[in-house]
Copies of this chain bind each other. A is one copy, B any other.
């Protein structure tokens, strides 16, 4: 389903593949990304892999340790807070702008998105649900027609996915997408101020659903802590 041709993946496609895997929590934070390993899995040369890993490194999705290799990033508590502070600065206002120029096609698209989210949740595919949940936020930035800000938000969403993997409190209950429903409603009404407010609260809810107290610096397990 992911690929039809047998043509070797380009670096850009490889970035997408790895990005998606990280998004959907198939690759956990701290996982080592060996160059030869990835090269053989995707049947590409190490040159391609290195290019892809550099791109992901600049996006802060992987951490590069000199002469030791690339690892899926493990955002610190501080980084986690910063990511959500940045989102708080960008997303509400972007939702505001989006509301003012939302078309009917946009609403339809968002509705499809939300349905897919619910579907993934129903099937129990939490990784997929989380990915789609992120795409929803990106879609709003797209509607706002601000590609520069959209790029930033994309990056923040990616990193948020890592943060969720590390600091999520409730393992069972996933994020209620009622917030997303309400946002779509505000966008459909072209109600900027309401969209702004809803997005602000949504982000606040997200942060409070995380465990961002600095008990220890421990990320996941003892093995991970020593694994560095």
CA distance A149 to B152 in the complex (A): 10
Count of this chain's copies in the oligomeric assembly? 2
Choose one: B55, B58, B89, B148; the contact of A83 (CB below 8 Å).
Answer: B148
Report Cα–Cα, A89/B94, bound state, in Å: 9
Tell me what chain A mostly uses at the interface: helix, strand, loop, or mixed.
helix
A147 CB-CB contact with B under 8 Å:
yes
Instruction: Enumerate A142-162 residues with CB–CB distance to B below 8 Å.
Output: 146-149, 152, 156
Whether A149 and B82, one on each chain, are in contact in the complex, defined by CB atoms closer than 8 angstroms, is yes
Q: Could you tell me if B54 and A149 are in contact, using CB atoms closer than 8 angstroms? A: no
Binary B-proximity of A31-59 (CB < 8 A = 1, otherwise 0):
00000000000000000000100110011
Which chain B residue shows the least CB distance to A90? B89
> Within the assembled complex, what's the spacing in Å between the Cα atoms of A83 and B146?
9
Whether the pair B147, A82 counts as a contact (CB closer than 8 A) is yes
Which of B55, B79, B85, B148 contacts A86 (CB under 8 A)?
B148
**Would B82 and A146 count as touching, CB distance under 8 A?**
yes
Residues of chain B with a CB closer than 8 A to A152's CB: 86, 152
The reply on A93 being an interface residue by CB < 8 A is yes
CB distance from A162 to the nearest CB of B (A): 13
* A91 shortest CB reach to chain B, Å: 10
Q: How far is the CA of A94 from the CA of B166 in the complex (A)?
A: 27
Q: Determine the chain B residues whose CB is within 8 A of the CB of A148 once the complex forms.
A: 79, 82-83, 85-86, 156
- Can you name 9 extra interface pairs (CB under 8 A) apart from A54-B54, A58-B58? A58-B59, A79-B148, A82-B146, A82-B149, A85-B146, A86-B148, A86-B149, A86-B152, A89-B89
Q: List 14 A-B contacts (CB under 8 A).
A: A51-B54, A58-B58, A58-B59, A79-B147, A79-B148, A82-B148, A82-B149, A83-B148, A85-B148, A86-B90, A86-B148, A86-B152, A90-B90, A148-B156
Query: Which residues of A come within 8 Å of B, CB atoms?
Result: 51, 54-55, 58-59, 79, 82-83, 85-86, 89-90, 93, 146-149, 152, 156
